[in-house]
């Protein structure tokens, strides 16, 4: 039996998921913490767990229940959100450590981390065998989007499960159902390919302009509003101008996404030469001491290659 009824429309979903709904959130890092805070502020009963408990403790001030064990956080929650680092950690926690078995029958697991599509499909099958449901719903928008509730939520799975989760997605951002299980992760990979490649294009273009004697800040300003304009030029371009590479999404995370995209491309027989090139550039940035920088810090690796500081 399902832990909560599957709604026939969004209005029914809003009645089903309300501020009395208990939600468990696993993983309160840079993204998970502000997301959990927003769920608390929206009135949900939020139970949180993080491998390092101290990172979850600040949420107690917003009314969250902080648990020592993930098993206890999920035990009575009809909906569980995962914001873990990768698919292998997901698998370890859910299946090896038995957290999935600790969930109540019919619970909906929403994996909002970025993992490989094949992992999402495998996890969904294994959860289904335990009487559980899954949406893969990775997000785009970074820590700013998590804090402001403006994330793009890319959901794959059953349409009815997506509708049931809409009231929970609402405080977090804009959710779109993009297809069956795994489609959310596939969309996130497409998103990260565009982000990672465009960061490189913006960085290389601005460095070329600077090397030639132009004012980098003015070059960026001149291009805004034209065909070269983008959120990457606006946000990451400004970080490049200011040399502000404080980590929001670190270079190793972008590298992981590029490698996941290439792995998926290989599985389906798709050639992705541009992504291959940028995987090498981000790997080089990591190897040359820039691993702690924001992914816009690829600028620093390209500057290094051109003898620019």
Q: What tens digit of pLDDT does each residue of 260-272 get?
A: 999 999 999 999 9
**From 1.20.190.20, 3.40.50.720, 3.30.360.10, 3.30.460.10, which CATH number describes the 10-179 domain?**
3.40.50.720
Say whether pLDDT at 42 is over 90: yes
3-state secondary structure the chain: CCCCCCCCCHHHHHHHCCCCCEEEEECCCCCHHHHHHHHHHCCCEEEEECCCHHHCHHHHHHCCEECCCHHHHHCCCCEEEECCCCHHHHHHHHHHCCHHHHCCCCCEEEECCCCCHHHHHHHHHHHHHCCCEEEECCEECHHHHHHHCCEEEEEECCHHHHHHHHHHHCCCEEEEEEECCCHHHHHHHHHHHHHHHHHHHHHHHHHHHHHCCCCHHHHHHHHCCCCCCCHHHHHHHHHHHHCCCCCCCEHHHHHHHHHHHHHHHHHHCCCCHHHHHHHHHHHHHHHHHHCCCEHHHHHHHHHHHCCCC
Q: What percent of the chain has pLDDT over 70?
A: 94
Q: What pTM, to 2 d.p., does this model score?
A: 0.86
pLDDT of residue 53: 96
What mean pLDDT comes out for the span 113-124?
Answer: 93
State residue 20's pLDDT score.
54
Domain 187-305 class, CATH top level = mainly alpha
Residue 12's pLDDT is what?
41
pLDDT at residue 288 is higher than 90: yes
Task: Check whether 47 has a pLDDT greater than 80.
Answer: yes
What average pLDDT is seen over the chain? 93
Q: What percent of the chain is predicted at pLDDT more than 90?
A: 89
Q: What are the domain boundaries of the chain? A: 10-179, 187-305
Concerning whether 15 is annotated as a catalytic residue, the answer is: no
In the prediction, which pLDDT does 298 show? 98
Identified catalytic residue from 170, 188, 211, 256: 188
Decide whether 10-179 matches 187-305 in CATH topology.
no
Task: Calculate mean pLDDT across residues 107-125.
Answer: 95
């Amino acid at each position: 039996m399902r832990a909560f009824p599957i709604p026939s429309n969004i209005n029914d979903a809003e009645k089903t998921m309300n501020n009395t709904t208990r939600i468990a959130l696993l993983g309160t890092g840079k993204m998970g913490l502000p997301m959990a805070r927003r769920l608390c502020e929206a009135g949900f009963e939020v139970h949180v767990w993080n491998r390092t408990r101290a990172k979850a403790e600040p949420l107690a001030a917003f009314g969250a229940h902080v648990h020592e064990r993930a098993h206890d956080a999920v035990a009575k929650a009809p909906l569980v959100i995962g914001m873990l680092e990768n698919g292998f950690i997901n698998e370890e926690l859910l299946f090896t450590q038995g957290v999935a078995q600790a969930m109540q029958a019919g619970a909906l697991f929403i994996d909002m981390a970025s993992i490989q599509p094949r992992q999402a499909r495998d996890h969904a099958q294994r959860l289904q065998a335990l009487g559980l449901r899954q949406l893969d719903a990775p997000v785009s928008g970074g820590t700013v989007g998590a804090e402001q509730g403006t994330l793009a939520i890319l959901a794959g799975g059953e349409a009815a499960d997506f509708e049931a989760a809409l009231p929970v997605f609402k405080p977090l951002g804009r959710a779109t159902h993009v297809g069956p299980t795994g489609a959310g992760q596939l969309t996130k990979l497409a998103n990260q390919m565009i982000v990672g490649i465009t960061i490189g294009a913006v960085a290389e273009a601005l460095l070329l302009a600077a090397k030639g004697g132009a004012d980098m800040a003015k070059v960026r300003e001149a291009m805004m509003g034209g065909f070269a304009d983008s959120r990457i030029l606006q946000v990451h371009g400004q970080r490049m101008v200011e040399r502000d590479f404080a980590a929001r999404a670190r270079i190793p995370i972008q590298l992981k996404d590029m490698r996941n995209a290439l792995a998926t491309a290989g599985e389906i027989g798709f050639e992705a030469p541009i992504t291959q090139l940028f995987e090498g550039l981000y790997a080089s940035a990591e190897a040359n001491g820039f691993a702690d920088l924001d992914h816009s810090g690829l600028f620093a690796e390209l500057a290094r290659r051109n003898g620019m500081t």
